[in-house]
Structure 1
Amino acid sequence: MESVQNTMKMFGHDTMKLDRFDGTNFLRWKEKMKFLLTVLKVFYVLDPNLGNIPEPSDEDTDGIITERMKRIEDEMLCRGYILNSLSDRLYDLYTPIQSTKDMWNSLKYKYDAEKKKLLHTSEEFTLDQIQKHLRIEEETRIRENELNVGSSSKEHYISQSNKGKKRKANNNASDNPKQYKNGKRDMSEIICHNCGNKGHIKRFCRFPKKEQNCRYPNLYPPKQTL
């Protein structure tokens, strides 16, 4: 009991105080708590390979009884240290868990996920909520993959359509090489319906527009007067 009192005094010292864990920075809090429980010589009760406290029997020796009492006391102290290092909200949440080992494992399962990016908030999640969260993330990944595939198919279709248009334009130019030179229409044989000259169309004619009966002076000979 004297050793417990000494450790309690040490626990009250500023160097042994821990900030209350509120759901953030779990890894830092966990390492500090492990160090504290080790100094207090009660961290061993969290060993996953440690068996359960044996039930008392009539055949128990004094040594077994003493060992059982120490184990029960260490379990109680370890549980109390952990609970008192939690925020009020988490204290109320984890108090119903009687097993110290189960409580510690529950904290690790919930908040160690910070490192693995499993949980994105510090809210309390049930197992069903965690499974739902993972299912939603998986469905989101599937939708993203489908969108990426659809986008790639659309880009491929547009690319092929543009190639088809380009081939069609090239074919049109090659079908009538006299009409197109260097990708432009050959205007050398085009006759203007305004002035009758070759090389341009009426819209681009530089001569003033003629009257209907005076059009195409170069196409028809002038009338001879008698």
Structure 2
Amino acid sequence: MAGSLSKIILDMSKIEPLDGSNYRRWSQKLLILFEALEVDYVLFEDPPADVNASESSTPETPATPVVTPLPAETNKADEEAKKKYEKDNKIARGHLLTHMADNMFDLFINQKSAKTIWDTLLKRYGDDDARRKKYVVGNWLRFQMMDDKPIMEQIHEYENLVGDILNEGMKMCEILQANVLLEKFPPSWSDYRNQLKHKKRDLSL
């Protein structure tokens, strides 16, 4: 388990920092990391109530007799839950800030609660469907293959860009995907591109 967890953490170190435009993929990757570390609950749960506050809210005379832990045992359990939450909050907060671009880091460095950071990011970037769609379409349109990079690496990059568009709920048939890729070929591939374009059957990606 320790080995697999170390591999996950190592892989997560390669996450592209959050810059405000890549929130969806960034948040999903961070959530995978937090689940592996078993600290994801701090993003969705409020911190445990203060021990003294919880004692004062307990009714003095319960309606029916109940068996409850002794006060000392209750206090100890509450203190342990509070310490665990504080520790896990620091871990989650640290990863959130570490995986942010500098300008985003500066905005959130003073926030001590991982849940507050997570909720703020969700409100600011998670609901902006129109912005995300424009962003992924723009990346797809700007993509251009080059001679000085491995061809298969570039094709995988194009496939990922297409996947981003499909994940946003926008439809695009494979014939369109393939023909747009032809237009992205580098200049040295012009003869091969023309050869493919003159084929009588439809091309798929």
**TM-score relative to the length of structure 1:** 0.44
Question: Relative contact order (alpha carbons < 8 A, sep ≥ 6): 1 or 2 greater?
Answer: 2
* Structure with the higher helix share, 1 or 2: 2
Q: Which has the larger radius of gyration?
A: 1
**TM-score relative to the length of structure 2:** 0.48
